[in-house]
Amino acid sequence: MYDNHGASIHLKIPFYRQHYDFTCGPASLMMAMKYLGGDLRLGTDLEIDCWREGNLVAVMGTGRYGLAYSAAVRGFSARASSNTGGLDFVDTFHPPLSGPDLALLRDQFYERRTRCRRLGVRERTGTITAEILRTSLFSNHVPLIVTNSLFFTREDLPHWVVVTGIDDRFLYINNPSDARPRKRKIGLDTLQEVVGYRGAQSMVEVWR
């Protein structure tokens, strides 16, 4: 078996800019599906459709099972990963969710997870490392990961981006909140600080 440890790879993933504050996840998914050959017309109609399917209801953003579901119903394979196995960011929201909002978030999470399992979406629990991302890319999977939007803006919010490549020093991403395509990179020595939101890591891999 070929050992790709430390090897470089760059996928030619097209850029798509999110049109709404809460659609970084759908915009990231759209980039992945377009790269993988989906017969999809990128635009706000699809962006909103994916958001409707994947949003967390109690909050405006999208969770890993929601995005995986949107991919699966369009004929793609998907795998959801996290380092907690639990609800997306439920322990990191500020202000924290409680009462009916928390109950709604839990219901939506488990409902999307059940739908994903019926569609054959795989699940993995564990730390998201450089080697996991490298293996994903070399398998021609497109990883979508959560980071903190503070790395790009002044807002402290969970934010989805697309991993486009990796080498021995950097991880390369498409950031859907950028006004235009630009080459962004993350030092592998800081990866565990950047991947995840307040310690809660989430990833969705999409492939054909």
pLDDT confidence tier of residue 191, bands split at 50, 70 and 90: very high
3 vs 195, more confident: 195
Count Cβ atoms below 10 Å from residue 109 Cβ, excluding itself.
21
CATH number at residue 30: 3.90.70
- Judged against a pLDDT cut of 60, whether residue 2 lies above it is answered with no
Please state the rounded mean pLDDT for residues 154-170.
95
Asked if the structure places residue 171 within a domain, the reply is yes
Write the single-letter amino acid at 38: G
Asked if the structure places residue 1 within a domain, the reply is no
pLDDT of residue 91: 63
Q: What's the mean per-residue pLDDT of the chain?
A: 92
Asked if the structure places residue 2 within a domain, the reply is no
Q: What is the 3 state secondary structure string of the chain?
A: CCCCCCCCEECCCCCCCCCCCCCHHHHHHHHHHHHCCCCCCCCHHHHHHHHHHHECCCCCCECHHHHHHHHHCCCCEEEEEECCCCCCCCCCCCCCCCHHHHHHHHHHHHHHHHHHHHCCCEEEECCCCHHHHHHHHHCCCEEEEEEEHHHCCCCCCEEEEEEEEECCCEEEEECCCCCCCCCEEEEHHHHHHHCCECCECEEEEEEC
Asked if the structure places residue 119 within a domain, the reply is yes
112 vs 57, more confident: 112
Asked if the structure places residue 150 within a domain, the reply is yes
Please state the rounded mean pLDDT for residues 62-69.
96
Percentage of residues of the chain with pLDDT beyond 70: 95
- Judged against a pLDDT cut of 90, whether residue 43 lies above it is answered with yes
pLDDT of residue 143: 98
Q: Global pTM?
A: 0.93
- Judged against a pLDDT cut of 60, whether residue 193 lies above it is answered with yes
pLDDT confidence tier of residue 99, bands split at 50, 70 and 90: confident
Count how many residues are written for the chain.
Answer: 208
Please state the rounded mean pLDDT for residues 23-49.
95
Asked if the structure places residue 17 within a domain, the reply is yes
pLDDT for 122-142, tens place per residue?
999 999 999 999 999 999 999
Asked if the structure places residue 158 within a domain, the reply is yes
Domain residues for the domain of 139 are: 9-207
- Judged against a pLDDT cut of 70, whether residue 1 lies above it is answered with no
Q: Are 198 and 159 in contact (CB under 8 A)?
A: no
pLDDT for 171-189, tens place per residue?
999 999 999 999 899 999 9
Q: How many domains does the chain divide into?
A: 1
**Of 77, 69, 106, 87, whose CA–CA distance to 146 is shortest?**
87
Asked if the structure places residue 4 within a domain, the reply is no
